Structure 1
Amino acid sequence: MTDREQRIQDMVADIRTHDAVDDAFLAKSFTDRLLILDINGVEGVPDEIAVRLRECDFYSAEAVYGESDSHTSTVGAVGDGTRHHFVDTQTRGSHQSYVLE
């Protein structure tokens, strides 16, 4: 594991302990690493978490994919909370998806 990967793992573990976070986990789209955040309530991503994400080069999916200039990402409802997607811009496009021939 590289230093950056360890830093990301540590960040995710730390974010999980925040009172506003129901869940935080890494996922992969076709070519990008994503951080998925489930935030309790509808207040949005707390500022301190948004800052921490930007420090590790994670930006809202809307901003990365050109849908909005927003620093937060609201994908939809999850129970009584909201789900947010952030893209690892440092490795964007470098993850391989599985292709069946």
Structure 2
Amino acid sequence: MVDRATELRQLTDQIADYDAIDDAFVAKSFTDQLVVVDCKAGETLPAAITERLHDHGLDGANDVYATTEGDQSSAGAVGEGTRHQFVDTETRGDHQSYVVD
């Protein structure tokens, strides 16, 4: 059986192959694991990617964290492109955050 982190890395590798995508990777934010997707300049996040992520237990960070952003996953600009963040709802809260003394 593949562990969750490996499953998400495999998923991001597949997502990165889409023409509209510049990069996709797994990241961590406090106690949550995230999938970050960067769209190329002038491109929008394909609905097929959002659906695929949702099918794998990942929801837009703006929806999960109840922020006031207009888009469920938009995190803003990255250079000329846009960044989207998705929270791994299957392991939400299971990751220990880093503490600096």
Q: TM-score interval w.r.t. the shorter chain?
A: 0.7 to 0.9
- Contiguous gaps of at least 5 residues in structure 1: none
SS in 2 for 1:35: strand
How many residues are paired up?
101
Give how far 1:49 is off.
0.5
Q: Please give the TM-score of this superposition, normalised by the length of structure 1.
A: 0.86
Indicate yes or no: 2:9 matched with 1:5: no
Q: Please give the TM-score of this superposition, normalised by the length of structure 2.
A: 0.86
Counterpart of 1:56, as a letter, is H
Pick closer, same or farther for the CA change 1:75–1:12 going to 2, 3 Å.
same
Runs of 4+ in 1 over 4 A off after TM superposition: 68-71
SS in 2 for 1:38: strand
Structure 2 distance, partners of 1:55, 1:68, is: 24
Structure 1 distance, partners of 2:77, 2:98, is: 29
Structure 2 distance, partners of 1:70, 1:2, is: 35
- Contiguous gaps of at least 5 residues in structure 2: none
Matched-pair identity in %: 47
Aligned Cα root-mean-square deviation (Å): 2.1
